[in-house]
Chain A
Amino acid sequence: MNAPHQATYLGMPAFPTAADASTRNTQLRANLRHATHTIRAKRASAVAELDDWSRLRAAGAAIKDRTLRHLDHYLERLESAVTAAGGHVHWAADADEANRIVTELVRATGEREVVKVKSMATQEIGLNNALATAGITAYETDLAELIVQLGDDLPSHILVPAIHRNRGEIRDIFAAKMAQWGRPAPEGLTDAPADLAEAARLHLREKFLNAKVGISGANFMVAETGTLVVVESEGNGRMCLTLPETLISVVGIEKIVPTFQDLEVFLQLLPRSSTAERMNPYTSTWTGTTDADGPSTFHLVLLDNGRTDTLADTVGRQALRCIRCSACLNVCPVYERAGGHAYGSAYPGPIGAILTPQLRGTQSEVDASLPYASSLCGACYEVCPVAIDIPEVLVHLRERVVEGGPASVRGTRAVIKPAKGHAAERAAMRAARWALDHPLVLRTGQRLASRTRRFHPRRLPGPGRAWSDTRELPSVPEESFRDWWQRTRGGSRTEGRKTT
């Protein structure tokens, strides 16, 4: 069976444009509100069970910082450990190279079908489309990824890629599309989540049992031992990691932890932050290959694809601590209303808003808009289990967008130009700064505004409409505080009464 090409993120509009449409989609808004609010309270109580959470969080951040500051060292250790355990290590500088390596590895097996565990790295590089071009069908086996694949849709969440779909929509997708990909949905399928999960079980069973090649990512790679870790819930991960003869894992170079012991921190931080469980149902670890147990051939494809550019930025580097738990998405008021697709990449939400412009650069319209896709409310930083100060990085990247400056671009130090379309804003900011730095000018402006207050329109023309379309303007007072102070205190600190 030839898989249709799936939708891609290419050519997505800037965030405000996409979000303008998605905020009007009442079904989407309701789905996202329900799902994110459901998980928020659960996460909070799962985290509250551990009275040393802040210390675990600090340790998680520190372990990742240690790894990142010595990434070359740990990659070398990992490579030798994986190789010693019977695995094969490949290096991919970018998405195209990773796709080419995986395609060639699959071709070498003679197979035309592969089963896949949900993997952010393979979403990022568009592996499924690359395989389809080579005539290889990749079957997504995570329930949400299956929903996305069958619906010819795009993931909109890191943990729950089909979070934008409710049970009724999922039922309709299964009923309409399963037959094109394999075993049809059962007759009379209801929208009960248990029935939908059962339909997925039946549909995917034959794929698992027949699979000869499995493709995965990994949550962690242990440098010391060469051990890979996949954290999951459904058992599709175990199926893909255990039953095929060949396993190919595509993993970002930042997914390393130094030692096996370090997992004690992350296996506590991740499940509680992600699915709000004490522990996820299944965690699989493997070290190379094991005789007569699981795949006899194991390939690890280590992926750069912009990670070294991110590493080169001493402020932005912390984004590479991310363990893809998605707590920041679930708590984000902007994500909840805009939806994941508005972020134009496999990484939506607050983490996507700082990761995507670093992995891809800030030159495209959507990438330049992502650092602004936040009110800087800080909820993301508060829940992040590895303490990524997302607001700090957002502001740092905004500077790169409007001012340009030094950055690493595909491994080369460069001085990048400001993104297009900010000239008027830049001039306005300069003018505002000048006025604010000259309080007499400011006072003159305030007095002018006060004197004309009766003539102020309730709705503004031009860019001001962005405010006044939905919000009343504040009325300008008769006198500014400055003038009141001057009038009542005469500029000296004297006793005075308010005179309103």
Chain B
Amino acid sequence: MTPRDPGSRNPDDPGNPGAQGAHAPGTRSTQDPGPHAPGAPGLGSRALVMARIRRALADVPRAETPGEVPVERTYHRVHGDRGSAETVDLLAEHLADYRAIVHRADTPDHTGAPEAPGAPGAPSLPALIARLLADRGATSVAVPPGLPASWLSDVPDAVRRVPDAAELTPHDLDAVSSVVTACAVAIAETGTVVLDAAPDQGRRHITLVPDHHICVIRVPDQVVGSVPEALERLDPARPLTWISGPSATSDIELDRVEGVHGPRTLEVILVGPQTAGRS
């Protein structure tokens, strides 16, 4: 094991503060000038912290690369062995566990097998959305720019559509009753829907300020089993919002109470070909 000197282990690295002359390798080995030393303040502290880190890691062999520190990923990619219908059922169960209200609808543009075998009475998506908004007494609904127009086709004109526009202020949104969006992916094991601000979901604030969120999940395609499977589908460059039930707090006596700042009512619609045997 070779103890490292206070210089960088990555001498080829352009960010190496050794190159900025704060601590040339082998010199002034243990003197730390402190954060308030003269010089450019931000740059000074960057170099200072980096030099401290390199001194602190004197026990790490110089030649060791990050990848050489072993990380065994022997944990499961997904827990349990389920078919896609069972995964959707598990999602529904886990969403409900944390007080999301779960509905099922037949896909409006579903061109597959004969109509809803074994799931008599599954409404169409537009009819269901219209009913949920009506039951809520919604007078206005925020609409992401890319939401399929058909989804709101049964909603009466009296319910004002509020497009997700750039000039929409938080105060404007505070006056909006409900919001209807799609999602990017849903996770069965945890009862989570993930929004990634795609056009059918809109900007983050429209699903935050209104008190009632109707989120449509296309099943089974958008449903994955586990957190690892969800991350594979997501783009970190997009702002992501993971939602598992309505907002909640455990801050009073570590007892869970649903409904604080985010939408207090989360309704989830699982839309897709309905199959038999579901609850």
Contact = CB atoms under 8 A, between A and B. Distances in A.
Is A–B contact present in the complex under a CB 8 A cutoff? Answer: yes
A43 to B, nearest CB: 10
Interface in A94-111: 94, 96-97
A171 B245 CA distance: 26
A85 B238 CA distance: 11
A66 B72 CA distance: 12
Contacts of A411: 32, 48, 51-52, 55
Interface in B216-236: 227-228, 231-232, 236
Interface string B230-263: 0110001111111111111111111111011111
A253 B49 CA distance: 9
Interface of B: 8-10, 13, 15, 30-32, 34-36, 41-42, 45-46, 48-60, 64-66, 69-76, 79, 94, 97-98, 166, 170-171, 174, 187, 189-192, 197, 203-205, 208-209, 227-228, 231-232, 236-257, 259-263
B236 A408 contact: no
B264 to A, nearest CB: 8
Contacts of B257: 193-194, 197
Contacts of A196: 252
Contacts of A166: 253
Given A267-B227, A292-B166, A260 B79 contact: no
Given A97-B35, A264-B227, A69 B251 contact: no
Contacts of B15: 76, 79-80
The 9 closest A-B pairs by CB, nearest first: A235-B262, A93-B35, A235-B261, A312-B56, A279-B190, A411-B32, A308-B52, A283-B242, A411-B52
Contacts of A160: 250-251, 254
Given A235-B260, A285-B236, A311 B190 contact: no
A227 interface: yes
Nearest to B37: A93
Given A72-B54, A294-B204, A52 B251 contact: no
Given A282-B243, A294-B204, A311-B56, A193 B32 contact: no
A52 B208 CA distance: 34
A420 interface: no
Contact of A209 (B174, B245, B263): B174
A292 B208 CA distance: 16
B279 to A, nearest CB: 19
Interface in A268-295: 268, 271, 275, 277-287, 290, 292-294
Nearest to B17: A72
Interface in A135-176: 141-144, 147, 159-160, 162-163, 166-167, 170
Nearest to A63: B71
Contact of B249 (A31, A234, A312): A234
Contacts of A500: none
Contact of A91 (B45, B236, B241, B259): B45
B197 A293 contact: yes
Contact of A302 (B49, B59, B60, B192): B49
Given A85-B237, A281-B98, A293-B197, A197 B252 contact: yes
- The SS class assigned to the B binding surface is loop
A160 B249 CA distance: 10
10 contacts: A55-B75, A76-B13, A93-B48, A96-B35, A141-B261, A143-B249, A170-B252, A278-B97, A281-B244, A282-B244
A308 B36 CA distance: 17
Interface residue tally of chain A, by bracket?
A: 35 or more
Interface string A228-239: 000001111011
A264 B225 CA distance: 13
A447 interface: no
A204 B190 CA distance: 29
A162 B253 CA distance: 9
Contact of B236 (A209, A242, A287): A287
Contacts of A141: 261
Interface in A407-440: 408, 410-413
B192 A205 contact: no
B75 to A, nearest CB: 4
A200 interface: yes
Contacts of B239: 284-287, 290, 293-294
B247 A234 contact: yes
Contacts of B252: 143, 167, 170, 193, 196-197
A208 B170 contact: yes
Contacts of A336: none
A52 B75 contact: yes
A35 interface: yes
A499 interface: no
Given A70-B64, A267-B242, 9 more contacts: A52-B74, A72-B50, A76-B15, A193-B252, A209-B170, A234-B262, A235-B261, A239-B208, A268-B75
Contact of A59 (B51, B75, B208, B240): B75
A391 B69 CA distance: 24
A225 interface: yes
Contact of B66 (A66, A205, A279, A312): A66
A265 interface: yes
| Most-contacted residue by chain B among A39, A194, A293 (CB, 10 A) | A293
A74 interface: yes
Contacts of A293: 197, 203-205, 239
A487 interface: no
Nearest to A410: B32
